[in-house]
Amino acid sequence: MNIVTLKSSKEKSLLRRHPWVYANAIERVAGKPASGATVLVQAHDGRFLARAAWSGHSQIRARVWSFDEAEPIDHAFFKRRIQRALLHRQAMVHNTGAVRLIFGEADGLPGLVVDHYTGADAPQRGQLVCQFMAAGVEAWKEAIVAALIAVTGCPNVYERSDVSIRAKEGLEQITGVLAGEAPPETLVVSENGVRYHVDVLHGHKTGFYVDQRDNRALVQQMAAGRDVLNCFCYTGGFSLAALAGGAQRVVSIDSSGEALALAQRNVTVNGFDAARATWLDADAFKTLRRLHDDGERFDLIVLDPPKFAPSREHVDRAARAYKDINLTGFKLLRPGGLLFTYSCSGAIDAELFQKIVAGAAADARVDARILRRLGAGMDHPLLSAFPEGEYLKGLLLQVG
């Protein structure tokens, strides 16, 4: 058995059930744990703290599987965790063919993300898409895949572990079929009555921004009769929601022609009037300014950009970028207009994001009222002991 002993006074965070052990908290390691091997973590005085997955390459040297001394880490453990996650999702998430089944630490499976897509036209042909982002889940991949299939009954499992974070764990990027059939080129899922093409093979993350479901629903509810602008639209998630909600006109911007092509297919598959939708293949920063200079105005704007701050060093530059788009966004709104604005940068917390947006409103010389704080859906729970798990935050504001 590999035993990791923490430095004295470094056990506090584990006692508070935070699931990470940093390299600098470790006093000594008995044994030579392989990458992903299960280690027993104990306090300086030898008290049991947790069982965890060893990751010799990462500054996060171990990730906790269980705080229960009586719980062994074996096939049954993974099955129980996945069963629990599925039960919670079934109780909380409805009206969608795109569900995050496993959200890493929050589901007691650090480093694992699994999205479950159910085809709108072929519900029997489900698709699980996994991302293995830490040494522990990588080492247990076979057991995890077998448990996923057994618990969900979905035979098709695809891996999208083409994420740079794997380098920190000493792992190569990898994609491919883990079980069953290869995913179709795109599969169509239905969410709140709207159909979306999902490109599991090449799309962002697992193919779809599953996390924005509730926010799409909110846009759908509030779009009737409005002129809508959706920046960083990707495959048109918010644009389609706005069209479904009866928007008068939806202008969408993205710099990826491929994403826009899929967005346009999404208009067709829903049978919406293509004349209500305009797609601009362009840089959002420049285009926002141009639209403003041209005197265009909107009633509802969505700003959901990529992660501007991939890590802490990027926070200042990212803050300027968020401020820039929000400033122009505010200026483009008619009185009474609504701004849905997001940041998915983990390094920018909700408080800082709100300050940036407030600064943008001040510079735009508008009164902006926060109507609601926004975040990811309930299938992206946030472990109370683990604030690092909060990445997506947003605000719904009204001006004038």
Q: Which residues lie near ligand SAH (CB under 6 A)?
A: 204, 209, 212, 232-235, 237-238, 253-256, 259, 283-285, 304-306
Tokens of 280: 């601009």
Q: Specify whether the CB–CB gap between 212 and 192 falls below 8 A.
A: no
Tokens of 279: 């797609």
Measured CA to CA, the distance from residue 159 to residue 128 in angstroms comes to 8
Considering Cα of 187, then 345, then 51, then 5, what sign does the dihedral take? positive
Residue whose CB is less far from ligand SAH, 60 or 241: 241
Residue whose CB is less far from ligand SAH, 178 or 260: 260
Residue whose CB is less far from ligand SAH, 152 or 235: 235
Residue whose CB is less far from ligand SAH, 171 or 302: 302
Q: Specify whether the CB–CB gap between 284 and 315 falls below 8 A.
A: no
Measured CA to CA, the distance from residue 78 to residue 132 in angstroms comes to 14
Residue whose CB is less far from ligand SAH, 246 or 306: 306
Residue from 299, 129, 298 nearest 208 by CA? 129
Measured CA to CA, the distance from residue 346 to residue 353 in angstroms comes to 11
Shortest CB 9 distance to ligand SAH, Å: 42
Q: Specify whether the CB–CB gap between 284 and 305 falls below 8 A.
A: yes
Q: Specify whether the CB–CB gap between 169 and 103 falls below 8 A.
A: no
Indicate the burial class of 196 (C-beta count within 10 angstroms; 0-12, 13-18, 19 or more). buried
Residue whose CB is less far from ligand SAH, 65 or 238: 238
Residue whose CB is less far from ligand SAH, 69 or 283: 283
Residues in Cβ contact with 241 at an 8 Å cutoff, skipping those fewer than 6 apart: 192, 194, 216, 217, 219, 220, 223
Shortest CB 302 distance to ligand SAH, Å: 7
233 is annotated as an active-site residue? no
Shortest CB 253 distance to ligand SAH, Å: 6
Shortest CB 125 distance to ligand SAH, Å: 23
Shortest CB 49 distance to ligand SAH, Å: 39
The full DSSP string for 267-308 is: HHHTT--GGGEEEEES-HHHHHHHHHHTT--EEEEEE----S
Shortest CB 50 distance to ligand SAH, Å: 35
* Helix or strand holding residue 152 (H, E): helix 141-152
* Helix or strand holding residue 144 (H, E): helix 141-152
Shortest CB 229 distance to ligand SAH, Å: 12
Question: What is the set of active-site residues?
Answer: 344
